[in-house]
Structure 1
């Protein structure tokens, strides 16, 4: 696992300032503390920070092909590199190393841009083609590894593994993109392909592009892979029973190749427990399993993690985190480079910190909820969809629209009485309804929060556009599959995988994700909804097949999630900070918010009238980003 960076002068062959590319690369030294090097040509500089995992002494980067025609910087792991090595060697290609980096180089020389179809793994890379004077940029299919880029006003095309690499360039435009502020307060992150900055972008998962010398505009991102959405390809129950465990085990197995200590996260939930169980069956030595717990029972899952660790005689590493572990707030804003509001980033940071004490590579269970319908929101979405199927939108809108507007938001009441969001969603179509249900702040709440000035800037834009771009692709899928697809394209990438990448790389830890092996995804996404979601319980397909491998209590207990006690923090130790930060001069001068509504949100929460903790955390992380970006 590494960090990559580069500057390509697209219009001139002027020498790139060595100190500039070095300063950009140094911003991501945490991603690769083992080595750092550079490659220069007139008008080009490539940079790399290395975390040594495979071929520890070899495979230095940037790396030139044996023939000298191409140069690469690469972040990630290619799990089928040995097979590709053999195939390409038979075609006459020369190899000077035993790692996966040179395999990508020769694959590019053989297949050009189609090389991505031959790669199995997680990756973000740039290949400089010396003859074509072009830079080929690619990102893995599910978006496990990040890549940011921008074309600056001086002709510099800049890219890097983290946004802070780009912002280090003195010509980088720090103007915020107004629409992404609306997106952020909807989702809690900035969705691909945009960033918080107006002229900086993320490469979408499963996309690539080539930028050529003389090109003065950014090229369109080209999609080379997508989640299969064939509703006629559903797996049978027998096929699932016969294949799921073996296919998942194979995805785990190919991720256990490393020349450094390897282990796994173990939260005590189904997904990480499944990974530990299968790892234990694939190696003789005990698995290094890493867990954190909280000193507050409702957030602590370590008893379930211990059951799995004991069953497989794992070498179990546990650390307890104080319930008032909120000192990371500003550090998280630094790590994520743009507003990011998933509070589980805090325990994720801590478990990565723990894991790095014992291993350099850790496997995780991320992706299983999206792939096998594990989130509770899928069940609720299914219930709403039954009503939509009975009543056309022309009838639902005049009935449920007024109810959604008038019904109070009763966070304190039993769930059955908390109907405001449901009423609002029922007045919308399937995609809009799911967007409303997923929103941290619903549209009516955002419109109260935003200033008149900012709402005028937004015009007719709504963050539902993030979902709308996928409508054509999900036509024909059942409503739950539609939600799963949307989550895999947005929430999984922008929230879950971003969280894990930044938290792990902050500690120079590589995390591998077996559930997101693209071959397993291509197979598993076709598990039918009626087998995934049974009697309101998600991931039934996965749980059923893991019954011989895991304790019943682990498989069928209520899902807890990886969360922190925000509501208590904001009524206690963080109360003063809420008032100071959210009502600060910086927030007022930003022009985005109604100061009256900011104070109302804080007062309501502190007095116990409403639980506004999710909204307040989203605002606090935005304020921390604003403050740090101004200081940079």
Structure 2
């Protein structure tokens, strides 16, 4: 996992300085503190820069050369089928390293076509390559790895893993997120290479095959254990991360290794920590608990938003605990973790999916959510971890697993009652791993209700964050929200305060336009917290003196007349 930067020159453009490009790339050195490398084509002046976090073949350095010196590639990500490609597609080529990234430049030498190269890669990637006078940039199918592009005033094309590299040169002209599932060439511009059948909601006609779901997730998880460095799992205690952890533990035990698991919360009573502790005991992982304070989170907001490059409230709330957890993991010398992102989008696991008006709308929303992962959970997982040089791998977003589940008819994926109880989300995923003889998880974890990650670390985190942000914004200042921020105008003082911080880091309007806000559908309020859903509230036991213990989210909803007052 790394950071890449690249510059492509149109004919007649003044050649950009390699020294200046390397200095810009240094802004993302947190992504790759192990080594740096760069290349400038003597033919075109095009530039490649790389900040390396060494995961595979620790002795290799990027850019990596192809058959000839004028063929070079920089890559951020992992190519899980690189060994298969070496033995089949690239048989006869003399590759010089065992680094997974190297197969990209040799595939291009063979096919000379972006679609043929990208469609053969099983993994996640953002890469740029120079091949003589040719230039190609590509991003993985779902956008697990971040990538941005921009134009400067001279007409030069800039690409980088993080937007901060582009703001100085391209902010006044154009900055955009590079679309997932596309590649770019100087001659052809953007071209889509990934367009599976499941993009069309009408093709979701398959019956549920629990064994296929089971086997596909196991395969997706096991291939992501590929590493030449220490590896762990992020364990929130929720269904998704717990399943990934359980699968990983079984495989690691087969090869005689123990697995480290990591959880975070405000204190030992946080919902996620309690559940994660139970899972870790059940699985036998070497478990680590990390605590952070609300004050820590608030003090880190400016730094976090600089790393995240977003003002989306949901992403910032959830990234705070993930940032502190990844920092502790990285300090222990672990460079890779598995994580559970993507399952809620694929299976309709968010609580608002209970309110889907029809099977058709349910399926459309799962597709939309998966297609937007690059702006939300994937962005959060990558940037909050890579801020601390930690790579997060996401088995649920494996291409084969996506093909398997997204083709299932939505009636089998919608929340389903269990033993006469309320409908429960991700029912078929739970079913697929509900084995009595050799259980993957304790039953109370396997059938645990969904918690947003930002809620599960402890409800006080969101409550106090909202209060702090509101206190930083005056009524008169907030009254100018539409004037100050006409694009994605903040809808409350929390969002306004986060937008102000973002604007300090990234003042250009084009930077602001790269951000999409995460909001739920089919519910009266727009607060992203899972507790804002009536489904969640109906399952919570009413505490004594409930009026004295209402959280800030609930108080605001009552004020907005979305919830009845609790007597």
Could you say which TM-score interval applies, normalised by the shorter chain? Answer: 0.7 to 0.9
Query: Pick from 305, 320, 328: which aligns with 2:300?
Result: 328
- Deviation string 1:423-481 (CA, Å, 9 cap, x unpaired) is xxxxxxxxxxxxxxxxxxxxxxxxxxxxxxxxxxxxxxxxxxxxxxxxxxxxxx72211
Q: 3-state DSSP class of the match of 1:301?
A: helix
Contact 1:251-1:517 within 8 A present in 2 as well: yes
**Residue 131 of structure 2: aligned partner:** 129
Q: 3-state DSSP class of the match of 1:563?
A: helix
RMSD across aligned C-alpha pairs, in angstroms? 2.6
* Counterpart-to-counterpart distance in 1, 2:480 and 2:64: 45
Q: Does 1:627 align with 2:504?
A: yes
Taking a change above 3 Å as real, the CA distance of residues 530 and 173 of structure 1, as seen in their structure-2 partners, is closer
Structure 2 spans left out of the alignment, 5+ residues: 418-422, 512-567
**Residue 149 of structure 1: aligned partner:** 149
**CA positional deviation for 1:61:** 0.9
**CA positional deviation for 1:629:** 3.3
Taking a change above 3 Å as real, the CA distance of residues 576 and 21 of structure 1, as seen in their structure-2 partners, is same
Query: Pick from 346, 350, 362: which aligns with 2:324?
Result: 350
Contact 1:34-1:51 within 8 A present in 2 as well: yes
Q: Does 1:370 align with 2:368?
A: no
- Which structure 2 residues correspond to residues 19-58 of structure 1 after superposition, within 5 A? 19-42=19-42, 43-58=45-60
Taking a change above 3 Å as real, the CA distance of residues 568 and 364 of structure 1, as seen in their structure-2 partners, is closer
**CA positional deviation for 1:630:** 4.9
**CA positional deviation for 1:589:** 6.9
**Residue 540 of structure 2: aligned partner:** none
Query: Pick from 478, 481, 490: which aligns with 2:363?
Result: 481
**Residue 408 of structure 1: aligned partner:** none
Which structure shows the bigger proportion of residues in helix conformation?
1
Q: 3-state DSSP class of the match of 1:286?
A: coil
Query: Pick from 492, 499, 512: which aligns with 2:380?
Result: 499
Taking a change above 3 Å as real, the CA distance of residues 289 and 138 of structure 1, as seen in their structure-2 partners, is same
Q: 3-state DSSP class of the match of 1:138?
A: strand
**Residue 184 of structure 1: aligned partner:** none
**Residue 118 of structure 1: aligned partner:** 120
Query: Pick from 474, 498, 514: which aligns with 1:579?
Result: 474
Taking a change above 3 Å as real, the CA distance of residues 628 and 585 of structure 1, as seen in their structure-2 partners, is farther
* Counterpart-to-counterpart distance in 2, 1:61 and 1:571: 43
Taking a change above 3 Å as real, the CA distance of residues 586 and 57 of structure 1, as seen in their structure-2 partners, is farther
Contact 2:264-2:325 within 8 A present in 1 as well: yes
Q: Given the two structures, how large is their TM-score scaled by the length of structure 1? A: 0.72
**Residue 410 of structure 1: aligned partner:** none
**Residue 447 of structure 2: aligned partner:** 556
**CA positional deviation for 1:352:** 1.7
* Counterpart-to-counterpart distance in 1, 2:268 and 2:210: 38
Q: 3-state DSSP class of the match of 2:258?
A: coil
* Counterpart-to-counterpart distance in 2, 1:593 and 1:210: 30
- Which structure 2 residues correspond to residues 262-411 of structure 1 after superposition, within 5 A? 262-284=231-253, 285-295=257-267, 297=269, 299-324=270-295, 325-342=297-314, 343-358=317-332, 359-382=334-357, 385=358
**CA positional deviation for 1:82:** 0.1
Q: Given the two structures, how large is their TM-score scaled by the length of structure 2? A: 0.80
* Counterpart-to-counterpart distance in 2, 1:571 and 1:277: 35
**CA positional deviation for 1:296:** 8.4
* Counterpart-to-counterpart distance in 1, 2:144 and 2:262: 21
- Which structure 2 residues correspond to residues 140-179 of structure 1 after superposition, within 5 A? 140-169=140-169, 172-174=170-172
Query: Pick from 202, 205, 208: which aligns with 2:180?
Result: 205
Contact 2:147-2:159 within 8 A present in 1 as well: yes
**Residue 515 of structure 1: aligned partner:** 396
**CA positional deviation for 1:355:** 2.4
Q: 3-state DSSP class of the match of 1:123?
A: strand
**CA positional deviation for 1:35:** 0.5
* Counterpart-to-counterpart distance in 2, 1:591 and 1:230: 35
**Residue 486 of structure 2: aligned partner:** 592
* Counterpart-to-counterpart distance in 2, 1:85 and 1:261: 24
Taking a change above 3 Å as real, the CA distance of residues 530 and 157 of structure 1, as seen in their structure-2 partners, is same
Taking a change above 3 Å as real, the CA distance of residues 617 and 296 of structure 1, as seen in their structure-2 partners, is farther
Contact 1:227-1:485 within 8 A present in 2 as well: no
**CA positional deviation for 1:590:** 2.7
Contact 1:293-1:320 within 8 A present in 2 as well: yes
Q: 3-state DSSP class of the match of 2:313?
A: coil
- Deviation string 1:128-171 (CA, Å, 9 cap, x unpaired) is 120xx2211111011101111112221321110000011133xx
**Residue 67 of structure 2: aligned partner:** 66
Contact 1:295-1:323 within 8 A present in 2 as well: no
**CA positional deviation for 1:222:** 2.7
**CA positional deviation for 1:117:** 0.8
Contact 1:280-1:286 within 8 A present in 2 as well: yes
Q: 3-state DSSP class of the match of 2:501?
A: helix
Q: 3-state DSSP class of the match of 2:143?
A: coil
- Deviation string 1:172-202 (CA, Å, 9 cap, x unpaired) is 233xxxxxxxxxxxxxxxxxxxxxxx61121
* Counterpart-to-counterpart distance in 2, 1:537 and 1:379: 8
Q: 3-state DSSP class of the match of 1:507?
A: coil
**Residue 225 of structure 1: aligned partner:** 195
Q: Does 1:99 align with 2:99?
A: yes
* Counterpart-to-counterpart distance in 1, 2:23 and 2:157: 16
Taking a change above 3 Å as real, the CA distance of residues 40 and 300 of structure 1, as seen in their structure-2 partners, is same
- Deviation string 1:184-228 (CA, Å, 9 cap, x unpaired) is xxxxxxxxxxxxxx611212111112114xxxxx82443433462
Contact 1:208-1:222 within 8 A present in 2 as well: yes
* Counterpart-to-counterpart distance in 2, 1:570 and 1:151: 37
* Counterpart-to-counterpart distance in 1, 2:70 and 2:470: 60
Q: 3-state DSSP class of the match of 2:5?
A: strand
